[in-house]
Structure 1
Amino acid sequence: MIKDIKSFCRLFYESTFLPINCYDYASDQSYTYPEDAGFDIIVNNPSPDFLNFKKNPDYFVSDSFTYYGYVESSGRDYCLIVGPVFSTPVTESDTHNFMKEWTIDASFHSRVSHFLQSIPPQSLYSFLNVLAYLHFCINDEVISVSEHFQLERLSQTDKISSVYTEKIMELKENQKYHNTYFYEKEMMKYVQNGDIKRLKELLNSSQNLVEGIVAGNALRQKKNIFITIATLTTRAAIQGGMNLEEAYQLADVYIQDCEHSQNLTYIENLNYSMLIDFAERVAKGKIPGGMSKEIFDCVQFISRHVNEPIQVGDVTEHIGKSRSYLTKKFKKELGFDISSFIMRCKLEESKSLLTFTEKSLSEISSYLCFSSQAYFQNVFKKKYGITPTQYRKQTQQIT
């Protein structure tokens, strides 16, 4: 047992610069270090939270996110209170909140601010180890920090907060902050607007960007960043008018491609392609000049239902206009009738399926709701001058 507790507390402070107060039960006296920082203002007006210590040693975190620790001698001769301690370098806001919590008069602001800024930041885990050390010094008992303080029972938020505070300290010390926010915001704006030209200019510009560390190795880091950008891009494209399901499906395809890759350069190029692809699709979905909102809605409806047995009546019902009114307006604005456009959309979709899938002609014709495979082949050849099989051979050789 330590006989000269006052000297011990002084040496503890001079070694760690962590504020410490010792209360001697027998003499009803307190010893506070540092002695000349006005710390007595605080310990002589203790917070009711100090009454909540339930074991030895113990700790609590105040409303101003300040750590306080408690260690009592086994013979109940005295107790030690360590704190205040912050997990990050103290800011002006921290000082303000601290003084408010302790109802310290504003005239002491300068002294309190200087005092708080002199305290070295500690993570919660480090702080609890300090309490374990003090407990060993005065009670000659070794405790397991994780078991005694039940760290394994801390919520996920507490665990994240502990890591978070360490990272914030590191960032402030190195002055290396995230700077991608405004770049990402501008990038998403161009995707949402379908502004391909400006998006390419932004992506090709020289940017000294500092990204967060979100993985343990370079490949996983690149993939995680890609997934984040894909998520943001999907939201931006949907806000720009892209069909919700199509946007999500497209993002899934890009993310799966990214996950399968083991090449950093490939993922970087894929990221570029994905952004441009989304922007181009948004641009195509924008209402062209001279097209009314009604006809634009017709076009969008037909495009989204190309794999259904859609008829002119389905389109007019969706728009809520008469058949005669809508067919005339459609013909006037686009130069062809609704039935022709429905067939055109189905055939364009068949071209994609022939090029990028191994689906049989029977499967494609059935998927696009043609009356038969033969009919599909006939209208395809009439439109493009070659059979679906010939088209597949040509395009797959290219791709």
Structure 2
Amino acid sequence: MKQQRIEVLLELISCNQPLFYWRYDEQGNLLYSDCPAEKMLDVVLRRTGGLRCIYEMGHNAPLLIGADSSLLWIADRENLEGKGLFQIHVLGPFFSHEHGVAGIEEMTRQVVAQASPQWANAFLEVARALPTLSLPFYSQYAVMLHYLLSGEKIPTSSLDYQIEMQPVPADFSNLKKHTPPKDRLQTYRAERALLNAVREGDMDCADTMEIASSVAKVREYTDNQLRNVQIACTTFATLCTRAAIEGGLSTTKSYCLGDAYIKSFFLAKTASEVSAIKNQMYKDFVTRVHNCRNNPQYSKMVQGSRDYIELHLAEPISIETLATRLGYSKYYLSTRFKKEIGCSVNDYIKFVRIERAKRLLSTTEKNISEIAENTGFASRNFFASTFKQCVGKTPAQYRKEMLNT
């Protein structure tokens, strides 16, 4: 009965564009397929690691399997009677956006790197005949398949993603186990560091930009590289706008600034021009948040002290250093600072260092000793004890907790 319903679903789907159907057992053996190029596409599907992923996760929701090239499959799991017995049902492959001839050829090179010319040419012919489905269609197909398999009605937001593919090697007899890409965590950390710097108006964010640039990757949404960069920078501008609002910049100013830069992205003629505008935008947001966070009730002397502390955290800082640099007596600066800020200079320095350390722990892979050095602590042990005293947990415990959120 269930298989008959799936056949009806496939008939309904074919009213739009037909999709191939696949069924695998709990050992990963192919039980059935209606795909004429079954052997070839089965190899490609396995190479994505999607089947392995859904087996290991014990997934009970639809999973979208695919690659940066936008060659995608829908997969879901059906639990059978009997301990540990299940089947994996797959629809696809299909493209998530229109590809020209050049785009399909580039996608083929990504998928079949190192394969023989004959195999690559054969795959190219198969790829040209594959359908293109937009997000509304394939997400609906996924939840309908899930309903047929489990009887559970779920929203399209439950659709999960495993979007990454390794090239298929020339020797298909020894496919290696897929491992998730290692750069996703680095990308997430870099993004969080960039946005935290906007929220805090951190003028000393050059290292953050450098780290982000080293791990950033523009996703291939279209065959046009300029358009891909424009889309990526638009997304980043939206995130910066939200972060600036959270940092205290007015909603009106934040949205107007973000909109102006987004328009500039799409008026640019080259990818490098877009990137230059993005860097300018980022510094603009950071500067504006920094300026709005400067309390006008603070005297020039106290505000100057705060700015110097935030820009020189890695260096030894003392009340004597600040007094000499700003041209005031130690006693006068200390008294005014405590009156306006509400704490001593030394306590403020410790607070800013701990806050910077928290950001580095949650957004970088720097070890504890490096972070201690970067935030001006004399030793790792002193940093660890001070951090635990202020935060209530060790740096390692804090990092682990933040990575799990």
TM-score category (smaller protein): 0.3 to 0.5
Higher relative contact order (CA 8 A, sep 6+): 2
Q: Calculate the TM-score normalised by the size of structure 2.
A: 0.39
Q: Could you state the TM-score of these two structures normalised by the residue count of structure 1?
A: 0.39
